[in-house]
């Protein structure tokens, strides 16, 4: 490394050399150059002085009392915030409720409530609500009915019509009413070889007058994967799910 050829290179290395951060082979070459080049040596001395100034900060004493009770506060935060509230974090300690933020949130909540009330009054929320069936009748909300069945546009909550044909598994002597329609639903309970959630099913709602109260509903659920129809007794008060996200898919 000759002096004239390498002054620029050496100066590029001086910041790292001043901190002992050069690999030893390069450090030796730089040292050799510094012994021969006063200009570079002065610059090196400048960097060395800079590190000396930084040393003042390295020896700075701990500000008085700054860590008093530090560990205790940390342990308190740990106890409060263990898997829990971010309010336990020190950075959150200084948070104070901002009146403007609270006002904005309150206004937004009021607006939301008013909008909801307006939509409800206009009847836009009706399709989302499941109307419980009136006593003595069964309903299928939003069912897509077969051609011989009443149209879905008819008022909901109507009584079942007399059976046009009874299912072979049902005892005709019971005189059940039948409404055949199709829809989709969620399987009410486990069944061997059963259909999956959202599978298309046929629903038959039966009224059995000889059962207690005459209002027990029997859902006949049949899916392509179930060869034999099954009779299920839903829990009292159970509602049909009139809309299923998969219903719209082909």
Partner 1 sequence: MSLPALKGPRFAPMTVPNRDDHELIRACLDGNRESFATLVKRHEQRAFWAAYRVLGDSEASRDVAQEAFVRVWRALERFDFSMAFSTWLYRITINLAIDHLRRNKRHKGVDIDAFREALPDESFAPAPHAAQDRSEMTRLVRGVLETLDEKYRTVLALRDLEGLSSKQISDITGISHATVRWRLHVARKQFRENWNRMEARATSAAHRAAAATGPEAKDA
Q: Which is nearer to partner 1, 72 or 148 (CB)?
A: 72
Task: Provide, rounded to whole angstroms, the least separation between the CB of residue 61 and partner 1.
Answer: 10
The span from the CA of 247 to the CA of 154, in Å, is: 20
Enter the DSSP assignment of 177: B
Cα–Cα distance measured from residue 137 to residue 187, given in angstroms and rounded to the nearest whole number: 22
Task: Select 45 or 197, whichever has its Cβ closest to partner 1.
Answer: 45
| Residue 8: CB minimum distance to partner 1, A | 14
Site residues, partner 1 (CB under 8 A): 12, 15-21, 30-31, 34-35, 44, 46-60, 62-63, 66-67, 70-71, 73-75, 77-79, 81-83, 88-91, 93
CB 166 within 8 A of CB 178: yes
Least spacing, CB of residue 97 vs partner 1, in Å: 20
Q: Which is nearer to partner 1, 65 or 168 (CB)?
A: 65
- What Å distances lie between residue 59 and 53, 56, 128, CA to CA? 10, 5, 70
On whether the CB atoms of residues 215 and 135 are closer than 8 A, the answer is yes
Output the smallest distance, CB 29 to partner 1, in A. 12
Question: Least CB distance from residue 77 to partner 1, whole Å?
Answer: 5
> Can you tell me which residue has the tokens 């009292």?
236
Cβ closer to partner 1: 67 or 119?
A: 67
Q: Retrieve residue 161's tokens.
A: 């019509």
Work out whether the CA dihedral 190, 192, 197, 200 comes out positive or negative. negative
Given the complex with partner 1, which of 94 and 189 has the nearer CB atom? Answer: 94
Backbone angles phi, psi at 224, to 5 degrees: -60, -20
């Amino acid at each position: 490394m000759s002096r004239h050829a390498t002054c620029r290179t050496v100066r590029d290395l001086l910041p790292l050399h001043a901190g002992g951060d050069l690999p030893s082979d390069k450090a030796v070459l730089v040292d050799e150059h510094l012994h021969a080049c006063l200009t570079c040596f002065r610059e090196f001395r400048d960097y060395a002085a800079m590190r000396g100034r930084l040393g003042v900060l390295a020896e700075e004493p701990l500000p008085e009392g700054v860590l008093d009770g530090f560990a205790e506060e940390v342990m308190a935060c740990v106890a409060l915030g263990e898997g829990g509230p971010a309010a336990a974090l020190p950075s959150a300690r200084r948070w104070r409720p901002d009146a403007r933020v609270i006002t904005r949130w309150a206004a937004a909540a009021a607006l939301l409530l008013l909008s909801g009330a307006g939509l409800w009054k206009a009847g836009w929320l009706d399709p989302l609500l499941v109307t419980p069936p009136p006593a003595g009748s069964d309903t299928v909300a939003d069912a897509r009915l077969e051609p011989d069945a009443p149209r879905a546009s008819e008022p909901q909550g109507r009584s079942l019509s007399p059976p046009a044909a009874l299912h072979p598994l049902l005892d005709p002597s019971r005189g059940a009413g039948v409404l055949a329609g199709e829809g989709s639903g969620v399987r009410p309970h486990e069944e061997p070889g059963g259909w999956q959630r959202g599978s298309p099913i046929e629903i038959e709602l039966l009224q059995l007058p000889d059962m207690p109260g005459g209002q027990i509903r029997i859902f006949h659920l049949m899916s392509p994967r179930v060869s034999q129809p099954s009779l299920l007794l839903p829990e009292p008060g159970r509602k049909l799910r009139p809309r299923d996200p998969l219903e719209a898919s082909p």
